[in-house]
Amino acid sequence: MTVRTESSQPQSKQLTQGSSKVPIHVAIIMDGNGRWAQKRGLPRLAGHRMGVDCIHGVLDTLGQKGVKYVTLYAFSTENWNRPPDEVEGILELMLEALQEQTQTLHENNVQILHIGKADRLSPQLEQAVNHAQELTCGNTGVTLNFAFDYGGRDEILEAVKQVIRDQVPAEDIDEAMFSKYLFTAHCPDPDLIIRTGGELRISNFLLWQSAYSEYYHTSTLWPDLDSAELERVLEAFSNRQRRFGRVTPEA
Ligand code: IPE
Ligand code: IPE
Ligand code: MG
């Protein structure tokens, strides 16, 4: 289930559509499900359910705008510390979502890839993930990186261990080479990271890959993020000046 390829990484440069710059890779910290439910007097799990339901619309909007890779942070390595009932409920929802939505995503030419630890998934979830990956592996539309049991520190440590196992000489280790040991070896670094739910932190998400990502925070709770707001986010991205350490913006 890990996604480590030897292919070279596509350039992390945004596309231009009309006069707008479109991010190639958008990564989203989908936060705020619990508060969305609590505001309505519902159990937290109702918020997670709504959070899963709105993924489809977000993917559609991003795909239509020309985004090629979408990474969704669905469950972190730290989320196991939640109450067992909530964890259990989220795992069930993930299984249900994969079983119900894989076919539609496949028909929409979406390629589904799991990023994160693969060794703590239940056999059923592992099977559903493998099925989704195998079914959609030839698709050429949006690539959906589904970050589940994902932690940036864990990813980096696992990559370091693998580099050591492969006995790579120290002088051969550089940034491009190391990136190929990460779960995201198949895609460019995220151009844009969106966090819903109002928190101003990274919560162990894409620590290596986000070195030069643009950040966008919104207090909107994940289940409330609609296509109008998403379009405003893309518009804001399009007006950012990315300098990558230079004095003048990237051409
Ligand atoms: C994000 O929503 C989903 C997961 C982390 C699984 P939260 O469940 O963190 O929602 P809030 O932050 O409590 O509102
Ligand atoms: C981040 O949200 C993880 C996901 C969205 C999957 P959390 O709600 O777990 O983040 P913290 O705990 O507030 O940092
Ligand atoms: Mg949260």
CATH number for the domain including 65? 3.40.1180.10
Let me know: does 205 contact 147? Beta carbons within 8 Å. Answer: yes
Q: What is the per-residue pLDDT for 248? A: 87
Give the distance from CA 215 to its chain's centroid.
Answer: 14
- Asked, for residue 249, whether it belongs to a domain, the answer is no
Q: What is the per-residue pLDDT for 38? A: 98
- Asked, for residue 90, whether it belongs to a domain, the answer is yes
- Asked, for residue 118, whether it belongs to a domain, the answer is yes
79 is catalytic: yes
Q: How far apart are CA 42 and CA 52, in angstroms?
A: 16
Q: What are phi and psi of 193, to 5 degrees?
A: -115, 125
- Asked, for residue 137, whether it belongs to a domain, the answer is yes
- Asked, for residue 108, whether it belongs to a domain, the answer is yes
Residues with CB under 5 A from ligand 3 (ion): 31
Q: What is the per-residue pLDDT for 19? A: 65
Coil vs helix vs strand at 15: strand
Taking only the tens place, the pLDDT of each residue in 46-96 is 999 999 999 999 999 999 999 999 999 999 999 999 999 999 999 999 999
Q: How many CB atoms lie within 10 A of CB 180?
A: 17
Q: What are phi and psi of 22, to 5 degrees?
A: -110, 130
Q: What is the per-residue pLDDT for 15? A: 75
Instruction: Kindly identify the ligand whose nearest atom is closest to the C-alpha of 195.
Output: 2
Let me know: does 11 contact 251? Beta carbons within 8 Å. Answer: no
Ligand 1 binding pocket mutation candidate from 28, 35, 201 (most atoms within 8 A of CB): 35
Listed as ranges, residues in the chain with pLDDT below 50 are 1-11
pTM of the entire predicted model: 0.94
- Asked, for residue 1, whether it belongs to a domain, the answer is no
- Domain with 89 in it: 16-238
Let me know: does 57 contact 72? Beta carbons within 8 Å. Answer: no
| Contacts of 41 by beta carbon, 8 Å cutoff, 6+ apart | none
Coil vs helix vs strand at 226: coil
Ligand 2 binding pocket mutation candidate from 44, 79, 90 (most atoms within 8 A of CB): 79
Q: What is the per-residue pLDDT for 207? A: 98
Number of H helices, E strands in the chain: 8, 8
> What domain count does the chain have?
1
- Asked, for residue 27, whether it belongs to a domain, the answer is yes
Coil vs helix vs strand at 56: helix
130 is catalytic: no
What's the mean per-residue pLDDT of the chain? 94
Let me know: does 194 contact 71? Beta carbons within 8 Å. Answer: no
